[in-house]
Amino acid sequence: MTRSTLTKRIEFSASHRYFKAEWDEERNRRVFGPCFREHGHNYLLEVTLGGRVDPITGMIINLYDLKHIVTNVLEEFDHKHLNYDMPYFERIVPTTENLALVLWRKFCERPETRDIASIRLCEGEDLWVELFQPNNPASQDNAEPAEALLTRRYALTVRRDADTSHVETWPLSLNVTTQGPIDPVTGRVTNIAALDERVQGQILNSLADTNVSQLQELAGRPVTLSTLAKILWSRLRNIADARLARLRLTDHHDLTLDYSE
């Protein structure tokens, strides 16, 4: 029988703050930055199941059943304050990473969704976390992900030589994906504020409205998504608290390139 995947997307809302009761206010503000303050999100959850396609129904699971299961799980979290209303976060910070892991466990508890392949939890249009079923034949079924991927989206506009007499504006969307274990203390894969600062300093400030065709790193090579991605990777590779997993560049023609080393 054919094995395939099926993804369901559902939105829900919740509020939270990044805060550890055993730390004083100064330390919480220093470690968590703006996330220390109470705030809310309209989350988008994508749940992907893997399985074999039933030869009779042609489905992994009935779509209406899957919608009911996901909705039922999210009912517990919808329009709640994660810090104060949810017992799951009595001892851990309700970061997007930890919330995704709690939801992963909730789906694994249900027999219909035990064969979960991945979860993507979007905090907004420019930040999301992904968890994947460990790809290890030696691991037990329904093993929890050892690591998470965190993606941050940025907008970048540069210029490049279209020909010998014309310089064109080149608007780009840049997704920076880091990967690592969820820190048991902070609940984060990486310090987002530090990542923003690194991207701002190494890329956005230095390349904005620059003619990248003149960059020494390109050394006369054609400016494409591939050659530009290689330059961006070299500028971001040494992220202190997580490893760089992937860059995605999308241009105004909806051409997308994924790059990793």
Predicted TM-score (pTM) of the model is: 0.91
Domain ranges in the chain are 1-139, 147-261
Q: 35 catalytic, yes or no? A: yes
123 tagged catalytic:
yes
- Per the CB < 8 A criterion, the answer to whether 95 and 18 are in contact is yes
**pLDDT at 138 > cutoff 80:** no
Q: What is the pLDDT of residue 240?
A: 64
The CA distance from 162 to 159, in Å, is 9
Quote the CA–CA distance of 200 and 206 in Å, as a whole number: 8
* Residue corresponding to tokens 């939105």: 11
Q: Which of 52-61, 179-188, 203-212 has the lowest mean pLDDT?
A: 52-61
Average pLDDT of the segment spanning 174-188: 96
- CATH number of the 147-261 domain: 3.30.479.10
pLDDT tier, 10 (very low <50, low <70, confident <90, very high otherwise): very high
pLDDT given for residue 44 in this prediction: 98
Which one of the listed residues 79, 109, 168, 197 is annotated catalytic? 79
For residue 137, the model assigns a pLDDT of: 46
> Nearest to residue 114, comparing CAs of 45, 49, 47?
49
Name the 3-class secondary structure at 257: strand
Which homologous superfamily is 1-139 in?
6-pyruvoyl tetrahydropterin synthase/QueD (3.30.479.10)
Catalytic residue among 35, 41, 122, 130: 35
* CA gap 224, 231 in Å, rounded: 11
Question: Whole-angstrom distance between the N-terminal and C-terminal Cα of the chain?
Answer: 35
List 16, 41, 123, 130, catalytic entry: 123
pLDDT tens sequence across 90-136: 999 999 999 999 999 999 999 888 889 999 999 999 999 999 988 75
Q: What percent of the chain has pLDDT over 90?
A: 70
Choose from 34-38, 48-52, 159-163 the range with maximum mean pLDDT: 34-38
Structural contact between residues 76 and 105, judged by C-beta atoms closer than 8 angstroms: no
Whether the per-residue pLDDT at 141 is higher than 90: the answer is no
Question: For 73-83, what is each residue's pLDDT tens digit?
Answer: 999 999 999 99
One-letter amino acid of 130: E
Asked whether residue 256 carries a pLDDT value surpassing 80, the answer given is yes
* Distance, CA of 247 to CA of 70 (rounded, Å): 30
1-139 against 147-261: fold identical: yes
User: What pLDDT score does 158 carry?
Assistant: 93
Residues 6+ apart with CB under 8 A from 149: 129, 130, 131, 132, 177, 178, 179, 189, 245, 246
